[in-house]
Amino acid sequence: MAGDDEGTAGPGSVLPMKRKAEGAPQEGEEAAGVRPKDESLTLSFEEQETKGIKLLEIGSDEMLRCLQEGGAVIKASEPDEKVVLCTVDKTFAVRVVETSNSVFLVEDGDSKCFKPAEGRAEGDAVGSPGGTPGPMTQMASASARSSPPGGLKVCTIVSENWEIEEIAPDFKMLDELLGAGDDGDLGGSGQAGGEDPIVGHTLEELVDMVQGSESEILEELQRRGDAMQVGDRWVRVTEASASALIDVLVSKVSENGWGWGELPLERVLACMEEEEFRRETTLHVIRVLGTAPMFLGSVTEGTVGSIVEKKLCVHYARKLLRKKAYSKLEPFMEEWSNTVPVGMEVSAEMLEGLALQDDSGAVVFFDKLPRDPKGRFDLLFRVRPRWKAAELRAWLEGLTISPGKQVDDVLEDHLHSYHPQGSADNPLMYVRKII
């Protein structure tokens, strides 16, 4: 904004502004309540500590209400982490955007920002007892005395603001936190030797440190097979402890003649507890491999659970592939078939999303696939340059998909699709885009 005199406005300065012709829109008039009969608009620049003031661009009334009601928090737990704003069920990236215009933040005379301190009349100097006020304080006091009624008092000037954009939550910190709180001895019943040591993290602690909303974090905890709730804390179930439990569980199911699709959960939990496996851990493992209630309190004498044959077979396949590499598929299939419980049959289709054959025929094991699309596709297409669309779908589980997008959008962003020989009769194929 330009005044009658050229120059830069500083703290405590007074800048008279000419008004436009009568009837024309007047800058700042509506906000300040200046009546049309005024011939000039005076801006006074107060000496205020305003480094903490940030402008946030809000795109919806829903977000505004959420902020006003305290339902959103800003997170950046590490110095190099991106800043995010989280509501109860969504995550937003916060970005600083510089503008070419300067924005004057003004407050009326009733605002606390411009009220004199208690016990001091307006216009009195601010300074240490018995001391001489500094020049900035004297200028501010002079401005307060000289600013006529109806003028605007500028609290601060900003040339940047924050913008928000909904994004997918970032669970890297969740992986680290759960990894640091392994179940340890939680495979046992926890009844001997006193109380269990406190391990893991409460949901509140995870929400404070993970860049995601509470709803998104809870959904992820319930989805993943290595996270288990014990009391009010979430712990990581290690592969070793889960594998040991499954081996005993398979033996007990066989001994008692229980059907994999109709497990009497109360009897199963009691039987495993006798083998010093915690009831919560047994229930969790059954739920990961099939179906079971989320909480122990829901288990009664008549409660039935199940274990899905494919999931149990995949568990044993992963166990074998972690031990050694296989140059051919046939030896692996034979060893795998001899490892699973009696009566279960394995097939190569069960390996989708876990392992595949490369051009040489060797079995390539993917223990943990990257969540981000670029990293996942880089890894998959390094092993197999071309993929059938139907085969690729099985490898997309757990992929990070930005809000507002579907799986097909992610595929279109990173891959090129085509029908061989240009004929729709041939299966749809995908190759990497050359960028």
pLDDT at residue 306, as a whole number = 98
My answer on whether 96 and 63 are in the same domain is yes
pLDDT band at 19 (very low <50, low <70, confident <90, very high): very low
pLDDT at residue 96, as a whole number = 86
My answer on whether 44 and 189 are in the same domain is no
With a pLDDT cut of 90, the percent of the chain lying above it is: 50
Within a domain: residue 402? no
- 8 Å CB contact between 208 and 255: no
My answer on whether 114 and 258 are in the same domain is no
- Where in the sequence is the domain holding 127, given as residue range(s)? 14-167
The residue type at 22:
E
List Cβ<8 Å contacts ≥24 apart for 215-223. 215/88, 215/89, 216/89, 216/90, 216/91, 216/169, 217/169, 217/171, 217/174, 220/169, 220/171, 220/174, 221/174, 222/294
pLDDT at 381 over 90: yes
My answer on whether 287 and 299 are in the same domain is yes
Angle between helices 279-289 and 239-256 (to 10 degrees): 90
- 8 Å CB contact between 86 and 75: yes
Pairing of strands 91-107, 201-202: unpaired
What digits encode the pLDDT tens for the residues 290-302?
999 999 999 999 9
pLDDT band at 392 (very low <50, low <70, confident <90, very high): very high
Say what the pTM is.
0.72
My answer on whether 136 and 279 are in the same domain is no
| Helix residue ranges per DSSP H, 182-230 | 203-209, 214-223
My answer on whether 162 and 20 are in the same domain is yes
Of 102, 135, 167, the residue at which a domain comes to its end is 167
Query: Which has the higher per-residue pLDDT, 425 or 127?
Result: 425
**Ramachandran class of 194: left when φ > 0, alpha when ψ lies in -120 to 50, beta otherwise:** left
With a pLDDT cut of 70, the percent of the chain lying above it is: 73
Of 142, 167, 192, the residue at which a domain comes to its end is 167
Mean of the pLDDT values across residues 126-135?
46
My answer on whether 156 and 176 are in the same domain is no
My answer on whether 153 and 184 are in the same domain is no
Query: Which has the higher per-residue pLDDT, 48 or 116?
Result: 48
pLDDT at 412 over 60: yes
pLDDT at residue 131, as a whole number = 47
Best CA proximity match to 153, nearest among 32, 51, 267, 49: 32
pLDDT at residue 117, as a whole number = 47
Buried residues in 56-73 as b, exposed as e (16+ CB within 10 A): eeeeeeebeebeeeeebe
pLDDT at 255 over 90: yes
What digits encode the pLDDT tens for the residues 155-182?
788 888 888 889 999 998 998 898 775 6
**Total structural domains in the chain?**
2
Q: Which two tokens stand for residue 8?
A: 């830069």
pLDDT at 62 over 50: yes
pLDDT band at 144 (very low <50, low <70, confident <90, very high): low
Within a domain: residue 289? yes
What digits encode the pLDDT tens for the residues 303-345?
999 999 999 999 999 999 999 999 999 999 999 999 999 999 9
My answer on whether 156 and 28 are in the same domain is yes
Q: Around Cβ 45, how many Cβ atoms within 10 Å? A: 23
Within a domain: residue 194? yes
My answer on whether 161 and 176 are in the same domain is no
Within a domain: residue 355? no
My answer on whether 18 and 162 are in the same domain is yes
CA distance 313 to 284: 18
pLDDT at residue 130, as a whole number = 47
CA distance 273 to 268: 9
pLDDT band at 150 (very low <50, low <70, confident <90, very high): low
The mean pLDDT of the chain is 80
Please give the C-alpha separations between residue 66 and each of 28, 88, 207, 218, 261, in angstroms, as whole numbers: 28, 9, 17, 20, 45
pLDDT at residue 6, as a whole number = 43
- 8 Å CB contact between 377 and 432: yes
Best CA proximity match to 12, nearest among 130, 147, 115, 120: 147
Within a domain: residue 151? yes
Mean of the pLDDT values across residues 33-58?
67
pLDDT at residue 213, as a whole number = 94
- 8 Å CB contact between 161 and 99: yes
309: helix, strand or coil: helix
- 8 Å CB contact between 87 and 69: no
Within a domain: residue 43? yes
My answer on whether 261 and 212 are in the same domain is yes
pLDDT at 124 over 80: no
Q: Which two tokens stand for residue 223?
A: 């989805």
Q: Around Cβ 379, how many Cβ atoms within 10 Å? A: 14
Q: List phi, psi (to 5°) of 222.
A: -75, -25
Which DSSP helix (H) or strand (E) runs through 15? Answer: strand 14-18
Within a domain: residue 396? no
Of 167, 198, 230, the residue at which a domain comes to its end is 167
Within a domain: residue 67? yes
